[in-house]
Structures are given as structure tokens and as C-alpha cells.
């Protein structure tokens, strides 16, 4: 069903931040100077208001809401077919856009104070805000775009903004290098992503979501007539062939798109750029490298659910990558001492959870975790930035401590963020993470156990960071006058803290059966009870097909085809069968799971308390008794070193070899070829004496020679 005024709202969301960015960029250096934040604050804030309107209208329409207005025809592809600038507005878009613009608004407000020192704007102040506005616009294109071309455009544009902002302090070699690394590593993923889009075009001849998804749906139902209509195919035989083609190519398309997602969302093995990206200013880490851009991969996989769910193998790969990355990054975070890097590894780990969620067919839960994570991780990064601001740029938790009393507001809000990240019961992260772990258990206990272990590690390293920074003896780096930040920093922290505390409640049961019913996850994604999942039920529909193997898929298939009275009956029997199958076990497991993950979070926090407040000699003892393990973690499993040996050095070697070939062989060849004219020139040059008389004499001598010769003959 159409959303009222969808086109206007969508265009406004894109135009306002872009306008702000242009104003800040054009007028900033000469006119606005220290007030360059205003156009961007107003632009992004305006976009946030519009996004809220869009969200409320979408909610009013319900889960079936879908508008795909064409803004204008972009360029002709083949005869009669156009690539359009078009939007795609549905519940997922609305939720993503509301979250992105909301977080962005407060990040921009925060930056107003953060990017100043002693109320004096930093160098490049207007550049910073222009890039932020540009980023919000790019992220809008990514999320709102109605075809794969615009998705790719937004995808690359956010990558560009990320590059520009990581390298904001471009005079610093480490920042310039980190920016380059982020760009190049993303390039590897985006190469696959681009190939995936080419393959979509080759398979469907179109790139707009509407046609592609409708065609996949028709192919799934072997509906040749629909395929003929959608893809403009003349003969039914050809249409049947096309259905075969679509089925055979979907896994390949999914794998190629997955490449892009792995790069952008910093999953193993392409995660290495994200920790280095912390060289950028903290607001950038909060907005781009925690809340929004890095979740684009998850968004894309959910958006392309029909493509990804076509193959179980692909889904398993997604789940394994997610689970593996979440555990892997969490272990690295255990020993890091740079506050922002701890948070960066934590982001990688949480993105792993989201991948795990998608991979175990719990797309709604994955997006739910994306949503709550945006609040608490942005909050934690902004809090870390506030600490860094107060500590004069120092972010190593070994160099300060006991900041609890110096920075009470920063401490309080970060504590809420940490509780949410650790999955402490009743904070937002608890609900979303629990759902993913639950679904992982249903799918495969090994994945579930990995999820639980990671949850424990998460609670531990988060509070290790908190205890080191905020507890213990008051300690600040020398020569630093530590102080609480001003209100431009604290207000965004407080707002995001509210989000971190309460965002999870959109995912709890509307009509609850006591406390247990209140917090238990939606066990059947096809029939959700919570506001969140019922809102997204249409978007995550492709992910429901699978649950319970092929029989259930066939059942769902039949159900979809029968209309009327029989449908309800079949759904009921399906339910009954499932309950008889493992209903009791599942019900017990739900509640145990919930207690267990709550306990695990509390346990992790307690162990961190024991280790870093009560008995600081324990971690020392562990470190000295397991020096190898500590070294491996401290050096991040030597992955960067491994890449250096396996990829960077051979590539550089190849580059040097190419350079040498160019220098000696190609240039040598050219030298030989040019030697002939040069030799001729060297001889001919001697004829030019320059003096007029010389020329005259030569002419006279020539004349004399001719006369003599003519006399001779």
C-alpha cells in the first residue's frame, strides 16, 4: 500500500543534508567560519524530522506499506528500458532512515563542541561538517534508493565520505594510511558487489528492486506468465528457460553481494580496516563506523532476502562468517587498551551478531540488533570521544583512571551504553542480542554456543574498559586539566543514553503473558507478536520460507497459493505440528536461554569487576602465566602481519617489478627507437652555424660547386 507523500518525503530526506553540506562547504571558509555547523545541523535535523514523519506515516499504513516512486528517468539502458532515479520506501527503509538521521543529528550537534579546542574551531572545521552532511545524504541514497544502481551509488558514496573523514587529519601519516587502507579493503569487497550487480543485470535485464524481486518471486512459484510480463519475454519456452537461469544464478549473485557486505560491514576476512579507521575524529567513528555505514551490509542482505535465502549454503556461509567474526573480534577486544579500538573490535563483533542473525533466517532480529546497536554504540563512541577530549587526546586506558567523579555525566551515560552492549537484562542490547542467540540455537546449537560465549566476552571486555577508565585511583595524563565536557556534548550523550536504555522495548511483546512473556523472543517469525517484528514482517517474509526444512517450505508454498478458509486451517496444523515436534523443548529453552544470557552478562561484568577493581593481580597472573596467548591477542592474531606478508608485500613486489620493467625494458626500447632520429639530428645539427655569413658562404660554395660541375660535364 502506498505511503502518503512518499516521494516528497524521500526527496526531502536526501536534499536537506546535501543542501546543508553544500552551504557549509561553499560558505564555510569565508563567510560562516566558526558557525559552519549550523547549515548541517539544520539540514540533518530537518531530514530527521522528515524521516520521523515518514516513519509515522509508514506505521499508519502498516507492514504492507510500500511506495516506489520514480523521481526521473536517468539514462537509457536498452531499447525502451530506462535506469531511473527511483525510491523504495517500506518499513525497513523507514526504520533505517529514522535511525540514521536521528543518530546523525546528535552526532552533528556533538561535533560542534568536539571539533573545537578552547572554543576555537579546529582547522578544517567547515570541511568536517560538509563531509558529515554529504555522508548523511549518501547514506540516504543507499537506504532509499529503489534499484541496485542507486544502492551501489550510495554504497560507494558512503565509502568515499568514510575515506575523507578517516583521513580528516591528513597531515598525520597514520590517519592518511588508515583512510587509504579502509578505501582499498572496501575496494576488494566492492569489486565482488559490483560483479553481483552486473550478474543481476545479465540475469534479469533490469536493476530495479520491483522487477527483480517480483521476478524472483515468480521464479520461485514457477510462474512463467508473470516472468514473461515482468522481463518482457515473448515466448513461454524462453520464460521457462529464464526461470531455470534465475534459479541457477541466484546463489552466485548472493555470494558476490556478500563480498560487498563483508567488506562494508567489516567481517572476517575484510574487517582489518575498521580498527584503523579509529584514526578519524570520534564523531565519525560513532556515526559512520559504528551506527550507520558499517550496517549497510546487513541492510543490503535483508533487503535482498529473496536472493540470499535462495540457497541454504549461502545462508550457512553468512551465519558462519557472522558467528566466527563475532567471537574472533571479541577475543581481540579482551586485551586492547585503546578505548576506541576496544569499541571498534566490539563493533565488528556486534556486526558479526547481525550477520549471524541474517544467516539463521532471523532477519527481523538482525535489523533489531542493528537498530539498538546504533544507539548504544554511537553513545559509547561519543562518550569515548568526550573522555579523549578531556584527556587532551589521550585514549589509552592505561594512562588514566578513576574518571567517575571528574566526568559524572560522561560516566553515567557510558555506563548505560555499556550495560546495553553487555546485554544486561532490560537494556536494549539484551533484547536484540538474545533474539539472535535464540534463533541461532534453534538453527544450530554450535552457532548458539558461539553466540553465548561471545556475549560473555562482550560483557567482560566492555566492563574491563569501564572499570579501567572510570574506577580506581583518579589518574589523568600529565599536564592535562581534566574537566567534564560542555552541554553540546552532554545533551547528545543523554539523548542517545535514553535510546540505549529503551530502544529495545519496541521488540517486546505487546500483549504479554507476565514477565516471562514480556521478554521472551518471538519464536515464530511468520507470526510475530511484538511491535517491531509485526512492523517488519513483510520485509522479512523471504526469511520465513525455510524454517524447518523443505517440508515446511512446501507447506508455506501451498499456503501462499490457497486462498480463503483453508489457509487458516493449514497454518494452525503447521503450528500444531511444530509444537508437537519440539514445542516443549523450545519453550523450556526460551526461558532458560533468557536467564542464561542474562546471567552470562552479569557474570561477565562481575568477573571484570573482580579482575580490574577487586583483585588486579589476577589479570597480571593470567598474563604472565599465558604469555603466548596474551601476545597473540595483543597482536590481533597477527592478521595484519599476515596480510602484509601474503598480500601487501607480494603486491608491492609486483609493483616494483612492473616499475623496473617499465624503467629498463620499455624505456630502453623507446631509447633505441629514438636513437635513430637523434643520430640523424646530431649530424644535421652541425650544419647550423647560426651566423648569417656562414649560411651565405655555404650557399656560395654550393653555387660554385654547381657551376664547376656544370662546366665539367
Partner 1 sequence: MPDSGAYIILGALLFAVGMVGFLARRNLIVMFLSTEIMLQGVLLNLVGFDRMYPSVDGQVFGLFVLVIAAVEAGLGLGLVVLLFRRKGTLDSEVWATMQG
Could you tell me if 600 and 452 are in contact, meaning their C-beta atoms sit under 8 angstroms apart?
Answer: yes
- Is 680 an interacting residue with respect to partner 1 (CB under 8 A)? no
- Is 710 an interacting residue with respect to partner 1 (CB under 8 A)? no
Closer residue to partner 1 in complex, CB, 514/681 = 681
Distance CA 558, CA 34 (A): 64
Could you tell me if 482 and 391 are in contact, meaning their C-beta atoms sit under 8 angstroms apart?
Answer: yes
Shortest CB 671 distance to partner 1, Å = 22
User: Strand 116-117 and strand 81-86: pairing?
Assistant: unpaired
- Is 687 an interacting residue with respect to partner 1 (CB under 8 A)? yes
In DSSP terms, 117 is beta-bridged to 120
Q: Quick one: which segment of 67-75, 274-282, 482-490, 694-702 binds partner 1 (CB under 8 A)?
A: 694-702
Closer residue to partner 1 in complex, CB, 479/690 = 690
Report the first-to-last Cα separation within the chain, whole angstroms.
106
Record the cell numbers describing residue 171, joined without a space: 597531515
Q: Of residues 592, 696, 702, 706, which one binds partner 1 by CB under 8 A?
A: 696
Shortest CB 689 distance to partner 1, Å = 6
Closer residue to partner 1 in complex, CB, 669/680 = 680
- Is 686 an interacting residue with respect to partner 1 (CB under 8 A)? yes
Q: Of residues 549, 693, 708, 712, which one binds partner 1 by CB under 8 A?
A: 693
- Is 62 an interacting residue with respect to partner 1 (CB under 8 A)? no
Q: Of residues 173, 312, 689, 702, which one binds partner 1 by CB under 8 A?
A: 689
- Is 706 an interacting residue with respect to partner 1 (CB under 8 A)? no
The Cβ of residue 475 has, within 10 Å, a number of other Cβ atoms equal to 13
Closer residue to partner 1 in complex, CB, 670/700 = 700
Say if residue 269 is preceded by a cis peptide, omega within 30 of 0: yes
Closer residue to partner 1 in complex, CB, 76/684 = 684
Question: What's the sign of the alpha-carbon dihedral 124, 130, 133, 135?
Answer: negative
Shortest CB 702 distance to partner 1, Å = 12
Q: Is 168 helix (H, G, I), strand (E, B) or coil?
A: coil
- Is 708 an interacting residue with respect to partner 1 (CB under 8 A)? no
Shortest CB 711 distance to partner 1, Å = 14
Orientation of helix 91-114 relative to helix 6-27, angle to 10°: 20
Q: Quick one: which segment of 133-141, 233-241, 610-618, 689-697 binds partner 1 (CB under 8 A)?
A: 689-697
Q: Of residues 672, 692, 708, 709, which one binds partner 1 by CB under 8 A?
A: 692
Q: Of residues 510, 670, 700, 705, which one binds partner 1 by CB under 8 A?
A: 700
Residue corresponding to grid cell 508437537: 580
Longest dimension (CA), the chain: 131
Q: b/e map of 405-443 (b: 16 or more CB within 10 Å)?
A: ebbebbbbbbbbbbbbbbbbbbbbbbbbbbbbbbbbbbb
Closer residue to partner 1 in complex, CB, 34/696 = 696
Closer residue to partner 1 in complex, CB, 446/705 = 705
Distance CA 87, CA 675 (A): 61
The Cβ of residue 623 has, within 10 Å, a number of other Cβ atoms equal to 15
Closer residue to partner 1 in complex, CB, 554/701 = 701
Q: Of residues 676, 691, 709, 711, which one binds partner 1 by CB under 8 A?
A: 691
Closer residue to partner 1 in complex, CB, 692/709 = 692
Closer residue to partner 1 in complex, CB, 613/707 = 707
Q: Of residues 498, 656, 697, 705, which one binds partner 1 by CB under 8 A?
A: 697
Closer residue to partner 1 in complex, CB, 665/695 = 695
In DSSP terms, 121 is beta-bridged to 116
Could you tell me if 427 and 363 are in contact, meaning their C-beta atoms sit under 8 angstroms apart?
Answer: no
CA 638 → CA 29, 323, 549, 629, distances in Å? 43, 20, 40, 12
User: Strand 120-121 and strand 116-117: pairing?
Assistant: antiparallel
Q: Quick one: which segment of 66-74, 310-318, 437-445, 695-703 binds partner 1 (CB under 8 A)?
A: 695-703
Could you tell me if 274 and 348 are in contact, meaning their C-beta atoms sit under 8 angstroms apart?
Answer: yes
Q: Of residues 118, 120, 563, 685, which one binds partner 1 by CB under 8 A?
A: 685
Q: Of residues 563, 690, 710, 712, which one binds partner 1 by CB under 8 A?
A: 690
Q: Quick one: which segment of 127-135, 160-168, 183-191, 688-696 binds partner 1 (CB under 8 A)?
A: 688-696
- Is 561 an interacting residue with respect to partner 1 (CB under 8 A)? no
Could you tell me if 43 and 16 are in contact, meaning their C-beta atoms sit under 8 angstroms apart?
Answer: yes
Closer residue to partner 1 in complex, CB, 622/700 = 700
CA 269 to chain centre: 15
Record the cell numbers describing residue 478, joined without a space: 600529565
Shortest CB 670 distance to partner 1, Å = 24
Closer residue to partner 1 in complex, CB, 585/692 = 692
Q: Quick one: which segment of 156-164, 229-237, 555-563, 681-689 binds partner 1 (CB under 8 A)?
A: 681-689
Shortest CB 674 distance to partner 1, Å = 18
Q: Quick one: which segment of 2-10, 182-190, 671-679, 683-691 binds partner 1 (CB under 8 A)?
A: 683-691
Half-sphere exposure at residue 479, Cβ-oriented, CA atoms within 13 angstroms: 3
Shortest CB 679 distance to partner 1, Å = 14
DSSP string of 440-461, one letter each residue: HHHH-HHHHHHHHHHHHHHHHH
Could you tell me if 55 and 95 are in contact, meaning their C-beta atoms sit under 8 angstroms apart?
Answer: yes
DSSP 208: B
Total number of residues that touch partner 1 (CB under 8 A): 13
C-alpha triplet 91, 260, 188: angle, nearest 5°: 160
DSSP 309: T
Shortest CB 684 distance to partner 1, Å = 8
Nearest to 59 by CA among 86, 88, 87, 90: 90
Shortest CB 677 distance to partner 1, Å = 14
Closer residue to partner 1 in complex, CB, 446/697 = 697
Contact pattern for partner 1 over residues 626 through 665, marking x by CB under 8 A? ----------------------------------------
Q: Enumerate binding residues for partner 1 (CB under 8 A).
A: 684-693, 696-697, 700
Amino acid at each position: 500500500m502506498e505511503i502518503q507523500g512518499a516521494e516528497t518525503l524521500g526527496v526531502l530526506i536526501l536534499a536537506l543534508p546535501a543542501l546543508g553540506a553544500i552551504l557549509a562547504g561553499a560558505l564555510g571558509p569565508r563567510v560562516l567560519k566558526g558557525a559552519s555547523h549550523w547549515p548541517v545541523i539544520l539540514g540533518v535535523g530537518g531530514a530527521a524530522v522528515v524521516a520521523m514523519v515518514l516513519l509515522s506515516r509508514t506505521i499508519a499504513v502498516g507492514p504492507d506499506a510500500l511506495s516506489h516512486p520514480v523521481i526521473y528517468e536517468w539514462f537509457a539502458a536498452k531499447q525502451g528500458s530506462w535506469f531511473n532515479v527511483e525510491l523504495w520506501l517500506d518499513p525497513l527503509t523507514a526504520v533505517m532512515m529514522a535511525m540514521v538521521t536521528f543518530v546523525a543529528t546528535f552526532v552533528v550537534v556533538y561535533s560542534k563542541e568536539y571539533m573545537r579546542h578552547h572554543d576555537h574551531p579546529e582547522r578544517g572545521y567547515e570541511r568536517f561538517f560538509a563531509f558529515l552532511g554529504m555522508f548523511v545524504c549518501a547514506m540516504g541514497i543507499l537506504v532509499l534508493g529503489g534499484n541496485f544502481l542507486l544502492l551501489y551509488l550510495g554504497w560507494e558514496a558512503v565509502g568515499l565520505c568514510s575515506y575523507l573523514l578517516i583521513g580528516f587529519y591528513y597531515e598525520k601519516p597514520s590517519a592518511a594510511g588508515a583512510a587509504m587502507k579502509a578505501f582499498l579493503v572496501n575496494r576488494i569487497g566492492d569489486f565482488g558487489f559490483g560483479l553481483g550487480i552486473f550478474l543481476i543485470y545479465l540475469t534479469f535485464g533490469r536493476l530495479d528492486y520491483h522487477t527483480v524481486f517480483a521476478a524472483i518471486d515468480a521464479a520461485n512459484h514457477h510462474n512463467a506468465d508473470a516472468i514473461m510480463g515482468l522481463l518482457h519475454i515473448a515466448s513461454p519456452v524462453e520464460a521457462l528457460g529464464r526461470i531455470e537461469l534465475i534459479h541457477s544464478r541466484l546463489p552466485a549473485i548472493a555470494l558476490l553481494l556478500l563480498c560487498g557486505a563483508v567488506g562494508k560491514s567489516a567481517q572476517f576476512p575484510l574487517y582489518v580496516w575498521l580498527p584503523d579507521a579509529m584514526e578519524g575524529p570520534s564523531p565519525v567513528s560513532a556515526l559512520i563506523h559504528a551506527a550507520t555505514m558499517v550496517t549497510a551490509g546487513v541492510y543490503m542482505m535483508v533487503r535482498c532476502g529473496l536472493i540470499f535465502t535462495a540457497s541454504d549454503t549461502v545462508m550457512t556461509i553468512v551465519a558462519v562468517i557472522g558467528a566466527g567474526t563475532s567471537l574472533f573480534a571479541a577475543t581481540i577486544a579482551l586485551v586492547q587498551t585503546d578505548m576506541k579500538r576496544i569499541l571498534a573490535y566490539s563493533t565488528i563483533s556486534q556486526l558479526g551478531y547481525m550477520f549471524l542473525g541474517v544467516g539463521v533466517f532471523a532477519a527481523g532480529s538482525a535489523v533489531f540488533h542493528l537498530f539498538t546497536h546504533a544507539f548504544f554504540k554511537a553513545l559509547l563512541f561519543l562518550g569515548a570521544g568526550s573522555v579523549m577530549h578531556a584527556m587532551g587526546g589521550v585514549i589509552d586506558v592505561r594512562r588514566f583512571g578513576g574518571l567517575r567523579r571528574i566526568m559524572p555525566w560522561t560516566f553515567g551515560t557510558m555506563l548505560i551504553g555499556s550495560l546495553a552492549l553487555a546485554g544486561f537484562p532490560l537494556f536494549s542490547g539484551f533484547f536484540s542480542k538474545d533474539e539472535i542467540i535464540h534463533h541461532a540455537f534453534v538453527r544450530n546449537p554450535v552457532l548458539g554456543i558461539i553466540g553465548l560465549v561471545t556475549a560473555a566476552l562482550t560483557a567482560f571486555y566492555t566492563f574491563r574498559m569501564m572499570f579501567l577508565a572510570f574506577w580506581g585511583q583518579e589518574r589523568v595524563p600529565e599536564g592535562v586539566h581534566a574537566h567534564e565536557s560542555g552541554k553540546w556534548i552532554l545533551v547528545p550523550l543523554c539523548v542517545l543514553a535514553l535510546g540505549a536504555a529503551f530502544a529495545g522495548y519496541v521488540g517486546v511483546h505487546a500483549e504479554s503473558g507476565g514477565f516471562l512473556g514480556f521478554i521472551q523472543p518471538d519464536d515464530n517469525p511468520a507470526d510475530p507478536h511484538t511491535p517491531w517484528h509485526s512492523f517488519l514482517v513483510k520485509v522479512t517474509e523471504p526469511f520465513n520460507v525455510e524454517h524447518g526444512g523443505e517440508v515446511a517450505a512446501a507447506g508455506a508454498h501451498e499456503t501462499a497459493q490457497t486462498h480463503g478458509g483453508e489457509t487458516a486451517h493449514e497454518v494452525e496444523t503447521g503450528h500444531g505440528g511444530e509444537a508437537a515436534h519440539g514445542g516443549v523443548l523450545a519453550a523450556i529453552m526460551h526461558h532458560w536461554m533468557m536467564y542464561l544470557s542474562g546471567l552470562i552478562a552479569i557474570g561477565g561484568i562481575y568477573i571484570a569487576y573482580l579482575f580490574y577493581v577487586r583483585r588486579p593481580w589476577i589479570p597480571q597472573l593470567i598474563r604472565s602465566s599465558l604469555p603466548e596467548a596474551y601476545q597473540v591477542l595483543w597482536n590481533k592474531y597477527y592478521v595484519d602481519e599476515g596480510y602484509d606478508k601474503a598480500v601487501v608485500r607480494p603486491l608491492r613486489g609486483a609493483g616494483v617489478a612492473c616499475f623496473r620493467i617499465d624503467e629498463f625494458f620499455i624505456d630502453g626500447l623507446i631509447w633505441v627507437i629514438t636513437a635513430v632520429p637523434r643520430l640523424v639530428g646530431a649530424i644535421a645539427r652541425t650544419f647550423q652555424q647560426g651566423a648569417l655569413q656562414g649560411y651565405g658562404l655555404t650557399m656560395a660554395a654550393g653555387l660554385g660547386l654547381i657551376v664547376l660541375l656544370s662546366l665539367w660535364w
